[in-house]
Amino acid sequence: DIQMTQSPSSLSASVGDRVTITCQASQYINDYLNWYQQKPGKAPKLLIYDASNLVAGVPSRFSASGSGTDFTFTINSLQPEDIATYYCQHYDGLPRTFGQGTKVEIK
Amino acid sequence: QVQLQESGPGLVKPSGTLSLTCAVSGASISSNNWWTWVRQPPGKGLEWIGEIYHSGSPNYSPSLKSRVTISVDKSKNEFSLKLNSVTVADTAVYYCARDGGSDRGGAFDFWGQGTMVIVSS
């Protein structure tokens, strides 16, 4: 199985800050990577697909990049409603696997 | 709008069988999508369980393959999950989802609200 490693596991930032999360795959996955946001008690929500494509309706302060084994997810200008746990997920073959998650909190 | 809704018992005894159904509305289960089950133990991350296409070709996580069955009922526009020989480690919120967020597949764009299943005697 391909292992997905996210860092950090949690972070605290101020409103308006730029937040960056990294995700590393245990082997080459091209750009077969998605990012999800999960708020407490809710189902995950797809934000980014194919490594860098923003889902329609998702605010443009969210962005992502990367290819191969190293990926980055960014929130430009953190907002209070962005408090959530963020997960990366690969789809280069089966099984699909998720990163362990990054919990984002407001300082 | 595509909607998915999980249903099933919230409590299962150890060594028993967990059975859940996901009702799909706003989309046909016979569309060109895979339909997926994901679970999340309390306080932990997401685990992909498996997927099925309307033709009935399932794929399973290797770690669960010996215990899991996913099936589809096109007449009811729903798909189901069965997990047998459950233990407390199978206690989790179980989500069903549609794999349709990317033309290449693999992106889960619509999710059910999730259902908590507790394994306990």
**Residue B103 confidence (pLDDT) above 90:** no
Identify all chain B residues contacting A46, using CB atoms and an 8 Å cutoff. 101, 107-109
Say which residue the tokens 């696997």 belong to: A97
Mutate to test the interface with A, among B2, B22, B33, B46 (most CBs of A within 10 A): B46
Query: Does B106 sit within 8 Å of A96, measured CB to CB?
Result: yes
Residue range A57-89, pLDDT digits in tens = 999 999 999 999 999 999 999 999 999 999 999
Spatial CB neighbours of B100, under 8 Å, sequence gap ≥ 6: B2, B31, B33, B107, B108, B109, B110
Residue in the structure block whose two tokens are 């407001």: A106
A45 shares contact with chain B (CB less than 8 Å): yes
Closest partner residue to A55 among B97, B101, B112, by Cβ? B101
In angstroms, the CA B57 to CA B76 distance is: 18
For residues A35-43, give the mean pLDDT.
Answer: 98
B88: helix, strand or coil = helix
Torsion of CA B22, B28, B29, B32, to 10 degrees: -140
Q: How confident is the model at residue A19 (pLDDT cuts 50, 70, 90)?
A: very high
